[in-house]
Amino acid sequence: MSQSNFPLRRRSVVLGSLGSAALALSPLARAQQTFINVLTGGQSGVYYPLGVALSQIYAKALPNAKVSVQSTKASAENLNLLQAGRGEIAFTLADALSDAWKGDKEAGFPAPLNKLRAVAGIYSNYIQLVATADSGIKTLADLKGKRISVGAPKSGTELNARAILKAAGLSYGDFSKVEYLPFGESVDLMKNRQLDVTLQSAGLGVASIRDLATSVKIVVVSISPEIAAKVGDAAYQPATIPANTYPGQTADTPTIAIKNFLVSHSGVPDDEVYAMTKSMFENLDTLVAAHSAAKGITKAGAVTGTAVPFHPGAQKYYREVGLMK
């Protein structure tokens, strides 16, 4: 072998090795590109703006991830999408989560969604039953014969509506008209005098009701603690909508609150869920800036309120901060 050929051959071997290494690494590089789809709700609700804020937090915590936000019909659709692997994290109400885990057909879950994994209990939804002042509605008994919107079909709001109305001795058949519409569309019909009342399950200060209250005079209808007891579900707890939450609402109003959860599924890697959980609690100010309902999110409340097992990635964070053993 001549000295002149050796460097060339050696260089070829080195380049060949580098090329092989590059080929071997390319699948790993591709694997590092992860996708996080945040499943929310209608754009006029609370889930959506909080989901947008979470996506910004996740993008910084997981720089290799492609983060997106999807507007949906909320709880039931979100949980079914998670089970199908078409999202990585989602908002849901506690009662819908329980129904999904058990497989409640009437709630929209023909079979148990066994891939679901809890990430965090967050703020509470308040059942907000809001009527136009000129409808004459002041109490639950006044709802008979009126026109109501109960939320998108099989949404968490619609499931809440069924439970509340049943506890009050009412059914959809008692109304002259029942619409299954998202928050914003419900409000538009009320402004146009095509509906009398809407039931919206959301955080306090939801944009849709604020919008309605600035356009027409409203009445926030009381829902007593006795109704909560009659529902017979521990997820339904007596609560209060504070006075002046909405324009024209001058008195505290009794109602029912239901906890919300962030949920993932068993196929999402532990390190991703750990990063999402940790980054959320380290950036709660970003969520509060997106919507005041996020003021209700606390570490102490994150690990209670559901029988669904927590994702191992979330468990790791909660062990670190002393909330789980």
What sign does the CA torsion over 164, 167, 171, 174 have? negative
For residue 20, what pLDDT is reported? 41
Residue whose token pair is 């196929």? 267
Report which residue type is found at 227. I
Q: CATH 3.40.190.10: does it fit domain 34-123+260-320?
A: yes
For residue 33, what pLDDT is reported? 72
End-to-end CA distance of the chain: 67
In this structure, which topology does domain 125-258 adopt according to CATH? D-Maltodextrin-Binding Protein; domain 2 (3.40.190)
The Cα 277–Cα 254 span in angstroms is 33
Are 151 and 136 in contact by the 8 Å Cβ rule? The answer is no
- Tens of pLDDT along the chain (325 residues) come to 444 443 433 333 343 444 444 434 334 344 467 999 999 999 989 999 999 999 999 999 999 999 999 999 999 999 999 999 999 999 999 999 999 999 999 888 999 999 999 999 999 999 999 999 999 999 999 999 999 999 988 788 999 999 999 999 999 999 999 999 999 999 999 999 999 999 999 989 999 999 999 999 999 999 999 999 999 888 899 999 999 999 999 999 999 999 999 999 999 999 999 999 999 999 999 999 999 999 999 999 999 999 999 999 999 999 999 999 9
The Cα 293–Cα 258 span in angstroms is 13
Give which of 201, 130, 102 is closest to 160, Cα–Cα. Answer: 201
Are 169 and 219 in contact by the 8 Å Cβ rule? The answer is no
Q: What are the residue ranges of CATH 3.40.190.10 in the chain?
A: 34-123+260-320, 125-258
For residue 32, what pLDDT is reported? 61
Are 286 and 114 in contact by the 8 Å Cβ rule? The answer is no
DSSP 8-state code for residue 130: E
The Cα 246–Cα 145 span in angstroms is 26
Maximum CA extent, the chain: 103
